């Protein structure tokens, strides 16, 4: 009986505007108070144990690295290098936008970081080249979703933590879906640029391409070192996150020299502002996950779905619809959140159900995270839409209309990722998964 009270408490506090971690934790307190079998002393014990996770350490390190890289002049160099490669085609800056986001994803792992950093450079360049604002904003928003799918990915770290799967295998599995997203977005760009007859960009010589490559070499080396170290077994994903911090400091201070030692405290403070809420949500969510397992809610959900279908492909379709509806619901009631907040609530419930249906949890993790990224762009609201609105001084409705058509290639990518398991898991299986 205490479960309904817990759920009502959480939803009520969220609607009232309470912080997510406080709403979740308050619901858990209500559950423990009403439980006839569980002691209240277990609550602080579970909260303390929540932070005792080696995998979770990767999140703050990647956040710090992202802050350093955003300050370190990396975004401009990536944009210029991408421009030398694909800018020569009709509507070339559209392809530059996609390629730039793909490269930048190997450093930030965040859709919002992509929009806030590289995205502003891309939109301004496209405006100056004569591209329509709806096209520039739409493709920037859509391409930003690539970042959290291609490693390193902050949502992947969260998923691996709560689903108890290998973060290294999850990182490796992200490359193929990332390429699928690049292709679907590229096809959409091709049709729009041809229809609107956008101009061709500058055709660079091989000497200029090589010069741009040399200028951005140290930035491009970051994902190579990161993934290579994980694949080679030299570092764990968590240790790789620390290496990423040290490497970004090195190139920012001594190679590009776009940041100084005096700026580091400010960078750390900005990073901690993002880290603390995530830690608090993690603590509350671990307690919530314990309650979910204790009550056997995953079994209840499995039985409900099994009454509808026992086919895993139908289940995946239902999960996709459910996750998209969850995104809309959470946003409508006022939970304008980073996907991590909804992930930590849903993963402990849905991952065991997916396993019961015979779905590989690495594959399920890719599907799950891609749904969360699409949720950032899903009307009626979404965090990426709000960020684009504020940074471009555009009405929210205008941003929403610009982004809506770009959901089509993302949904196509989602269908491919959902129903082509062998393709998604190609790289992990090549390495013995």
Tell me which range, 90-94, 115-119, 393-397, is most confidently predicted by mean pLDDT.
90-94
Please count the structural domains in the chain.
2
Residue with the bigger pLDDT between 124 and 25: it is 25
pLDDT at 342 over 70: no
Is 152 found in the same domain as 15?
no
pLDDT at 141 over 90: no
Q: For residue 109, what pLDDT is reported?
A: 54
Q: For residue 218, what pLDDT is reported?
A: 81
Distance CA 77, CA 130 (A): 22
- Among 171-180, 215-224, 403-412, the range scoring the smallest mean pLDDT is 215-224
Is 194 found in the same domain as 48?
yes
- Report CA Rg, the chain: 22
pLDDT at 394 over 70: yes
* Host domain of residue 48: 41-430
Is 363 found in the same domain as 315?
yes
Q: For residue 260, what pLDDT is reported?
A: 84
Q: For residue 335, what pLDDT is reported?
A: 41
DSSP 224-291: HHHHHHHHTTSS-HHHHHHHHHHHHHHIIIIIS--S-GGGHHHHHHHHHHHHHHHHHHHHHHHHHHHH
Q: What percent of the chain has pLDDT over 70?
A: 79
Tokens of 205: 């010589």
Please, are residues 396 and 386 in contact by the beta-carbon 8 Å criterion?
A: yes
Q: For residue 258, what pLDDT is reported?
A: 79
Q: Identify the band that residue 336 occupies on the pLDDT scale cut at 50, 70 and 90.
A: very low
Return the closest-CA partner of residue 309 out of 294, 297, 321. Answer: 321
Q: pLDDT tens digits for 248-277?
A: 888 888 888 878 888 888 888 877 776 777
**Any alpha helices (H) in 106-174, and if so which ranges?**
111-114, 120-128, 133-144, 154-163, 167-173
Return the closest-CA partner of residue 406 out of 144, 98, 182, 138. Answer: 138
Is 126 found in the same domain as 184?
yes
Is 302 found in the same domain as 215?
yes
Q: For residue 302, what pLDDT is reported?
A: 66
pTM of the entire predicted model: 0.74
Q: For residue 184, what pLDDT is reported?
A: 95
Q: pLDDT tens digits for 59-113?
A: 777 777 777 776 766 777 777 788 888 878 887 888 888 887 787 765 555 555 5
How many CB atoms are located within 10 Å of the residue 120 CB?
15
Q: For residue 391, what pLDDT is reported?
A: 64
Is 366 found in the same domain as 239?
yes
Is 175 found in the same domain as 30?
no
Is 219 found in the same domain as 126?
yes
Distance CA 293, CA 387 (A): 36
Q: For residue 187, what pLDDT is reported?
A: 93
Q: For residue 275, what pLDDT is reported?
A: 73
Please, are residues 81 and 220 in contact by the beta-carbon 8 Å criterion?
A: yes
Tell me which range, 64-73, 123-132, 330-339, 413-422, is most confidently predicted by mean pLDDT.
413-422
Q: What's the mean per-residue pLDDT of the chain?
A: 77
Q: pLDDT tens digits for 184-201?
A: 999 999 999 888 888 777
Is 415 found in the same domain as 314?
yes
Distance CA 184, CA 418 (A): 15
Q: What is the mean pLDDT of residues 227-252?
A: 78
pLDDT at 303 over 80: no
Q: Identify the band that residue 333 occupies on the pLDDT scale cut at 50, 70 and 90.
A: very low
Residue with the bigger pLDDT between 417 and 228: it is 417
Is 64 found in the same domain as 34?
no
Q: For residue 310, what pLDDT is reported?
A: 67
Q: For residue 111, what pLDDT is reported?
A: 55
Last residue of a domain, which of 40, 56, 71? 40
Is 301 found in the same domain as 184?
yes
pLDDT at 351 over 70: yes
Is 321 found in the same domain as 284?
yes
Return the closest-CA partner of residue 158 out of 374, 369, 424, 433. Answer: 369
Q: What percent of the chain has pLDDT over 90?
A: 4
């Amino acid at each position: 009986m205490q479960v309904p009270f817990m759920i009502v408490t959480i939803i009520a506090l969220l609607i009232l505007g309470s912080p997510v971690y406080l709403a979740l934790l308050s619901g858990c307190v209500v559950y423990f108070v009403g439980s006839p079998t569980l002691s209240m002393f277990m609550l602080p014990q579970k909260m303390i144990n929540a932070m005792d996770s080696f995998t979770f350490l990767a999140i703050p390190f990647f956040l710090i690295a992202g802050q350093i890289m955003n300050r370190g002049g990396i975004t401009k160099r990536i944009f210029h290098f991408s421009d030398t490669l694909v800018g020569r085609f009709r509507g070339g800056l559209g392809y530059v936008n996609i390629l730039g986001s793909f490269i930048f994803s190997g450093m930030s792992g965040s859709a919002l970081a992509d929009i806030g950093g590289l995205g502003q450079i891309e939109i301004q360049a496209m405006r100056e080249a004569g591209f329509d604002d709806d096209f520039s904003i739409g493709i920037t928003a859509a391409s930003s979703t690539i970042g959290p799918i291609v490693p390193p990915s902050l949502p992947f770290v969260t998923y691996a933590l709560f689903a108890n799967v290998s973060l290294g295998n999850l990182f490796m599995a992200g490359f193929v879906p990332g390429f699928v997203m690049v292709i679907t977005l590229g096809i959409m760009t091709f049709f729009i640029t041809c229809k609107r007859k956008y101009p061709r960009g500058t055709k660079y010589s091989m000497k200029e391409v090589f010069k741009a490559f040399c200028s951005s070499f140290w930035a491009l080396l970051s994902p190579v070192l990161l993934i290579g170290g994980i694949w080679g077994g030299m570092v764990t994903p968590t240790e790789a996150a620390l290496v990423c911090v040290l490497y970004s400091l090195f190139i920012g201070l001594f190679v590009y020299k776009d940041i100084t030692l005096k700026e580091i405290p400010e960078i750390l403070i900005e990073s901690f502002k993002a880290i603390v809420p995530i830690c608090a949500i993690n603590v509350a969510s671990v307690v919530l996950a314990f309650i979910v397992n204790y009550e056997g809610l995953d079994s209840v959900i499995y039985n409900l779905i099994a009454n509808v279908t026992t086919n895993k492909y139908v289940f995946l379709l239902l999960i996709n619809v459910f996750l998209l509806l969850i995104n809309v619901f959470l946003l409508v009631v006022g939970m304008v959140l980073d996907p991590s907040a909804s992930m930590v609530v849903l993963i402990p419930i849905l991952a065991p159900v997916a396993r019961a249906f015979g779905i590989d949890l690495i594959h399920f993790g890719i599907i799950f995270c891609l749904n969360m990224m699409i949720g950032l762009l899903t009307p009626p609201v979404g965090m990426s839409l709000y960020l684009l609105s504020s940074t471009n001084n555009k009405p929210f409705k205008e941003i929403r209309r610009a982004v809506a058509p770009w959901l089509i290639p993302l949904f196509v990518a989602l269908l491919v990722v959902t129903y082509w398991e062998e393709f998604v898991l190609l790289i992990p299986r090549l390495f013995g998964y």
